């Protein structure tokens, strides 16, 4: 059962990292367009 919890944690971290990457790309593009 530990592998299930570990895989869920890894999946959650991957989703969080993906969303953070998208947010950084959007913010950087907005700042670039602002100038």
Confidence at residue 14, expressed as pLDDT on a 0 to 100 scale: 99
Cα angle for residues 30, 33, 35 (degrees, 5° grid): 115
Residue 13, domain extent: 1-35
pTM, two decimal places: 0.65
Number of domains in the chain: 1
SS3 readout for the chain: CHHHHHHHHHHHHHHHHHHHHHHHHHHHHHHHHHC
Model pLDDT for residues 1-35, shown as the tens digit of each residue: 899 999 999 999 999 999 999 999 999 999 998 87
């Amino acid at each position: 059962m530990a592998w299930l919890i570990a895989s869920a944690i890894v999946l959650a971290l991957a989703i969080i990292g993906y969303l953070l990457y998208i947010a950084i790309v959007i913010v950087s593009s907005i700042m670039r367009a602002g100038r």
